[in-house]
Amino acid sequence: MKEYKEIKVVLVGNPNVGKTSILNHLVKGNLRIGNWPGVTVEKKEGHVFFNGYKITFIDLPGIYTLEEIISEDEKIAFDFIVSRDYDLILNIIETPRIERDLYLTCQLLDIEKPLILVLNMIDEAESYGMEVNVERLSELLNVKVFKTNGRTGEGIKEILPAIVEVYKKNTKPITINYPKEIENKIKEKNTFKWLKLQEIIKENPELYKIIKEKQLSFSKGLTKEVVRKKILYKKTLTETLDSLFLHPLLGIFFFILIMYLFFKISFDFSFPFIDWIDNFLQNFLGPIITKNLENIGAPHFLISFIVGALIGGVGIVLSFVPLIFTMYFLLTLLETSGYLPRVAFLMDSFTHKIGLHGQSVIPLILGFGCNVPAVIATRTFQDTKDKLLVISMIPFISCPARLIVFSFIVSIFFEKPALIIFILYLIGIILSILTSLVLRKTLLEKKLSHFVMDLPPYRIPSLKIVFNITKAYLKDFVYRAGTIIFTVSVVMWLLLNLPFGEENLENTFAGKIGKTLSYIFEPIGLGDWRISTSILSGFLAREAIISNLGVIMTQEKKDTLETNQNLEDRELKAKIKELLTPKQALSFLLFVLIYNSCFATVVIMAKEGNLKFALGFWLYSFILAWLISFINFKLF
């Protein structure tokens, strides 16, 4: 096997300069998305083999400056840059805002590492009447400079040969010449220039202002030297769209419309694939495997385990794939187009009242579609406490799986089902907000930081890049969460089917656990073991609570799907009506609403936060659900 020498390259730049788009073109879709070790900040990286080298690219979180570090993602970028544990810096610049971005470039010069400048979004700069003298910029900084269009990939293919050449020659950029007094002190230090400057500032804080003014004047002078602007008298597309999308009233209207279309497309597109996957596994693959195993004389339990547990577990994991892919494709589309930052801006004044930033709105709204992608959507948050706070709000948002349970039970016991369902949704939202307020004052206490939002111009997204980013998110979900979801689903199947050969579900391990739990549920009116067992088995999927209750009540050991198809709705409803009173039914609904009974959500919370946090919240939701159900059952 051929050995490749590795070149480690870091992509550095301000937020929203198109680093991920450049990375996608460089690695040709070989993109991996995960978290930085020990934290919940998103990490993007990829590699490509070129001219005998393995070039590894690490996309650092956006950072404006190597000073005044505030957020966790900025700290990660800062620590990695100053660690110098890489071979070359690929500094991405948003060309229309070149003067702002060159300030960071000036600081990177003092890191004294090989550096290549990438002037991205050159097409936008030209549309604004900007011209950049690349040759002069390259000459002044002693670096290679490339003009690129991250959306189309124009100019990016020249970067790989340049990386190899700069690495071989170890070509380093110039460093800034500071006043003589500072330069003399620099010569006395034995480290790289940026760190020397920090030591000098620590010894004499008054020199900080002089050093910063020199960096600012250098970046401004550099811009003046290489940039020419033509005066264009025309209203840009961004200004036109912002007059609609950021309008106090029209902005809300368009936001609601876009979110409606988001959910409609997500469900309308993904549900046929989900149904196809379910039918393929249950009605095609399952029967074929069963028949072949029977032909070779395999034991019945083994056949049942392979078809019910293994194939069923795969089915549970795969059932998330179409919805997560569709939602994240649309979400990435909205993000790369420049619309999502405007949602944060539009909602910021409202969310500040409950201790959150405007960016919290999107994950919370996604929760109405599915809690799993909603939790994943928080990985773009800059601050860990903000991220954990929003994650703790999401499980109270009712998803369609809960709606299935609500609709079935409410139609049996209440005359105005729509009103009851609306009240349940409202209770979930209120508990979500109350939880955030309590956590902000206790475990996740933090003064709400105020920052100037960076609103990038609107852009037409590259579908290829959007697809590659979505694919990376999906792979990360399957690898990190799918394996755990599959394992837990197999364990749940075993609980429902052991001891093998037991015809009565009451005597299975799940039934025995349900009976044990019935003592806990007795004070809230749900002491019947059939109810507690159905809630336990519903941990696989909330919507399975009803079908599993049907299996239990008919005392049949059949596949859940088959039972649900064969059991008449009115017969099951009649049995449930005999089992529960309206007050008990409301306790049941409140418990399903509040308790985080979706193990896929628990797994994702552990992955995006941490295991202690996920289990702690799971216990908190159980206690809160029990208390509110108790109040309902005893006092009303």
16 is in an annotated binding site: yes
Spell out the alpha helix ranges (H) of 415-462.
417-441
Instruction: Evaluate whether 175 touches 109 at the Cβ level (below 8 Å).
Output: yes
Spell out the alpha helix ranges (H) of 84-206.
98-109, 122-127, 134-141, 159-169, 180-187, 193-203
Instruction: Evaluate whether 528 touches 576 at the Cβ level (below 8 Å).
Output: no
41 is in an annotated binding site: yes
Looking at residue 404, its amino acid is: I
Report, in angstroms and rounded to the nearest whole number, the Rg of the chain calculated over CA atoms.
29
589 is in an annotated binding site: no
Alpha-carbon gap, residue 92 to 14, rounded angstroms: 8
369 is in an annotated binding site: no
- The DSSP line for 351-415 is HGGGT--GGGHHHHHHTTT-HHHHHHGGGG-S-HHHHHHHHHHGGGSPPHHHHHHHHHHHHHH-S
20 is in an annotated binding site: yes
Alpha-carbon gap, residue 132 to 119, rounded angstroms: 9
123 is in an annotated binding site: yes
Alpha-carbon gap, residue 473 to 330, rounded angstroms: 13
428 is in an annotated binding site: no
Alpha-carbon gap, residue 195 to 215, rounded angstroms: 15
Classify burial at 224, counting beta carbons within 10 Å of its beta carbon; exposed 0-12, middle 13-18, buried 19 or more: exposed
> If we measure between CA atoms, which residue out of 127, 2, 5 comes closest to residue 56?
5
Instruction: Evaluate whether 388 touches 617 at the Cβ level (below 8 Å).
Output: no
Spell out the alpha helix ranges (H) of 86-133.
98-109, 122-127
Alpha-carbon gap, residue 408 to 413, rounded angstroms: 9
- Element containing residue 564 per DSSP (H, E): helix 560-566
354 is in an annotated binding site: no
The angle formed by the CA atoms of residues 465, 471 and 477, to the nearest 5 degrees, is 145
14 is in an annotated binding site: yes
12 is in an annotated binding site: no
**With the CA atoms of 97, 165, 109 and 193 taken in that order, what torsion angle do they form, in degrees rounded to the nearest 10?**
170
17 is in an annotated binding site: yes
Instruction: Evaluate whether 27 touches 57 at the Cβ level (below 8 Å).
Output: yes
60 is in an annotated binding site: yes
Sign (positive/negative) of CA torsion 485, 490, 496, 499? negative
120 is in an annotated binding site: yes
Place of tokens 């950021």: 246
> If we measure between CA atoms, which residue out of 376, 380, 345, 332 comes closest to residue 59?
380
13 is in an annotated binding site: yes
Number of other residues whose CB lies within 10 A of the CB of residue 206 = 7
Instruction: Evaluate whether 462 touches 151 at the Cβ level (below 8 Å).
Output: yes
279 is in an annotated binding site: no
15 is in an annotated binding site: yes
Annotated binding-site residue numbers for Mg(2+): 24
Annotated binding-site residue numbers: 13-20, 24, 38-42, 59-62, 120-123
Annotated binding-site residue numbers for GTP: 13-20, 38-42, 59-62, 120-123
